[in-house]
Chains A and B, each alone.
Chain A
Amino acid sequence: MKRKVFCALCALALLACLLWVPAFAEETENFVYDNAGILSEDEMLQLNEAAKAVSLRYGCGVYITLFDDMADYGYRYIEPFAEEVYAQWSLGIGEENNAIILVMSMADRDYDLCAHGDVAHTAFTDYGKEVLAGGSRDLGMPGFLDDFRRDDWYEGFYNYISQCGYMLDCAEQGTPIDIPDYPVPEPRALTERIGMAAVPGVVIGIIIAFIYCAALKSKMKTARIARDAATYIASRGIWMQAEDDMFTHTTVTRQRIERDSGSRGGHGGTSVNSGGFSHSSGKF
């Protein structure tokens, strides 16, 4: 239900954007750059129109830049590569060149969400960028990573642009998507701490005592059957006749790093580096 409401809001926001007279129309026309060739011409046009509408409505460029392999440009890491893309292509709009850029390198399926400018940093907090990519069940927001993992590129980019619009709108209204400020909990009373520590402490004590006594008991038994004959290998030693190692395949598992939002009470906001950029990167 939340997702449906959210999608309806996004659609309205996009419609409003398309009707709104852009203040930065003269500055740029291109918001989607597909150097990897994964989008059709129609998809490019539709996404570009949507991104342009959001960008001009909120004064913050919403960009999509796709590459075959960042290594072709001499980069091993996606974050500096994203900054280079921003600088080389002179992205961003407004006096501060505000921008949120989704940079993707298809070879190793790397992505980076790179933000620049006060408008972008306010709307796309560290937590907000995580939600933008991975979604949030609590907020009823879908992330684009789920779409990309199914190679559903158009749907993923559409979600990205829609959510950027929603997050810029929230920021404009003074309520950017960020970690709520939880109050710092009061120190626990000594009796409460004793009560909480006693049970696990006793369990740990019993386990340690069991291990220690098992070790003492094992010393009492010294007669044991021998299972091997390593002592009796002849002095001429082992003669190896084959030692072949063959690579068969690779498996990759991805585990999302869960961040305990409660424990980060009061530590929201956006981490901006010395170059004025903030990032959130990973694999899709």
Chain B
Amino acid sequence: MPDQITNYKCPACGGPLNFSNTTQDLACDYCGSHFPVAQIEALYAQHDETAAAASEAQAAASAQQQAEGSEWELASQNNWAGDAQNLVAYNCPSCGAELICDQTTAASSCPYCGNPTIIPGQLHGMLKPDYVIPFKLDKNAAMNALRNHYKGKKLLPNSFSKENHIEEIKGVYVPFWLFDGEAYADLVFDATRTHVTETRNERITTTEHFKLHRAGNVPFEKIPVDGSSKMPDDHMDAIEPFDYSELKPFSNAYLPGFYADKYDVGMEESSARADERAAQTAKDAMRERCFGYETVTEAGGQVFLRRGKVHYALLPVWMLNTRWNGQNFLFTMNGQTGKLIGDLPVDKGKYWKYFGITAVIAAAAASAIIMMLLH
């Protein structure tokens, strides 16, 4: 993986190269040339050899440690080293966000709080990502997705969609920790089967009771947990999943034109959420194996986690911020799949209108049916 060269320049004219999310390659803003990422990386690969060797040695040591340990282990601990000189760090004095941009990207406002005054700072003390999923969808796709998001929302205030002007749409590479591991669940369930027979005078309910024992291993690959405290967890969970088949080894070549958020929630802090999700899934998987019963109730047991490698990745998210009636509304779109989510305001007037209409119609229908049944 090239670690040293990040400020890619056009081999034809020397102008800066930006990653194009439509053609999925590097484009020159000046001469219009397009180059595959791999080709540009290969051009600069010779500069990486020393750093790559050091990185591989570190990864091997980490893998050895992983095999012996039971705690989450970083898959690699690469730092930015020489790459940092071509990146610019920004701090938002309003919300505390720390952002990274390629030198060619003009950072004008904070994508989280909209604060227009963000201050250039120093890039330090941060791991370099292992992977990145490049943006596949552009701003127009995000706007279209937002318009579709409004459709069918009967309680949406008219003024929200009419007056709502998304002032700025920002593409942000959000830092994610991707957890590999395995959960071993050993659980006991109480289950019942019921048979009902009826005689002339009695209804006899016979319930058979069972104890079920289910144990098994549930392996996981890359459970994502976002490492940004500014990005709401519910938003990031809701735009899942990302298509990991398009994960690429991290390269600065994917950054131009976008923000990259610096993680401020470490792997250790994020691991609790990965543990919780893995354990819950293992429990669910064991319960799903209890078929053929009418009731199944968990009665005890344990879930053990075998913690594995943790990868650090940047995943593409479009952020759309707006204000309405003095409130901030955040919409986020998966920059790869186009899944857009975001909570919408409820028009109380519309709510009571629909409530009233439905209540009147349903009451009339119910009353008519009851009257028919009353002779």
Contact = CB atoms under 8 A, between A and B. Distances in A.
B233 interface: yes
B366 interface: yes
Nearest to B207: A251
A250 B206 contact: yes
A134 B284 contact: no
B153 A230 contact: no
B209 A251 contact: yes
B123 interface: no
Contacts of A65: none
B362 A205 contact: yes
Given A222-B238, A234-B219, A200 B366 contact: yes
Contacts of A246: 210-213
B106 to A, nearest CB: 30
Interface in A119-139: 130, 133-134
Interface stretch (B163-171, B260-268, B337-345): B337-345
Interface of B is mostly: mixed
Interface stretch (B10-18, B75-83, B273-281): B273-281
Interface stretch (B25-33, B135-143, B351-359): B351-359
B201 A223 contact: no
Contacts of A219: 152-153, 155
Q: Which of A200, A232, A241, A243 has the most CB atoms of chain B within a 10 A radius of its CB?
A: A232
Contacts of A238: 216-219, 285
Interface in A204-235: 204-206, 208-210, 212-213, 216-217, 219-235
A283 B343 contact: no
Contacts of B199: 281-283
Given A232-B222, A250-B206, A134 B201 contact: yes
Nearest to A248: B209
A200 B367 CA distance: 7
B204 A283 contact: yes
A4 interface: no
Given A205-B366, A232-B222, A257-B201, A244 B289 contact: no
Interface in A128-154: 130, 133-134
B241 interface: yes
Interface residues of B, number: 77
Interface residues of A, number: 68
Given A193-B374, A220-B346, A245-B210, A213 B233 contact: no
Nearest to B288: A238
Contacts of B149: 222
B47 to A, nearest CB: 36
Contacts of B204: 252-255, 283
Contacts of B354: 209, 212-213, 216
B54 interface: no
Interface of A is mostly: mixed
B277 A220 contact: no
A202 interface: yes
A197 interface: yes
B68 interface: no
Contacts of A252: 204-207
A37 interface: no
A187 interface: yes
A252 to B, nearest CB: 5
B201 A229 contact: no
A230 B281 contact: yes
Contact of A240 (B214, B235, B366): B214
A162 to B, nearest CB: 20
B202 interface: yes
A217 to B, nearest CB: 6
Contacts of A228: 277, 280-281, 284
Contact of B362 (A209, A234, A256): A209
A87 interface: no
A263 to B, nearest CB: 12
A155 B341 CA distance: 74
B370 A200 contact: yes
A198 B153 CA distance: 32
A133 B201 contact: yes
B147 interface: no
B249 interface: no
Interface string B210-232: 11111111111111100000001
Contacts of A227: 276-277, 280
Given A223-B341, A229-B281, A240-B289, A255 B203 contact: yes
Contact of A233 (B218, B346, B362): B218
Contact of A229 (B153, B220, B346): B220
A260 B187 CA distance: 48
Contacts of B375: 185, 187-188
Given A220-B153, A238-B218, A229 B202 contact: no
A278 to B, nearest CB: 11
Contacts of B223: 229, 232
Given A247-B209, A251-B209, A216 B281 contact: no
B216 to A, nearest CB: 4
A222 B236 CA distance: 11
A244 B218 contact: no
16 contacts: A197-B371, A201-B366, A204-B362, A206-B359, A209-B359, A210-B355, A216-B354, A217-B346, A227-B277, A235-B221, A237-B219, A238-B285, A243-B214, A254-B204, A257-B203, A283-B199
Q: What are the nearest 10 A-B pairs in CB distance? A: A205-B363, A201-B367, A209-B359, A226-B237, A197-B370, A242-B215, A209-B358, A234-B219, A208-B362, A205-B362
Given A209-B354, A229-B278, 12 more contacts: A130-B200, A204-B366, A220-B344, A220-B345, A224-B237, A228-B284, A235-B221, A244-B212, A246-B211, A250-B208, A253-B204, A282-B200
Interface of A: 130, 133-134, 185, 187-188, 193-194, 196-198, 200-202, 204-206, 208-210, 212-213, 216-217, 219-257, 279-283
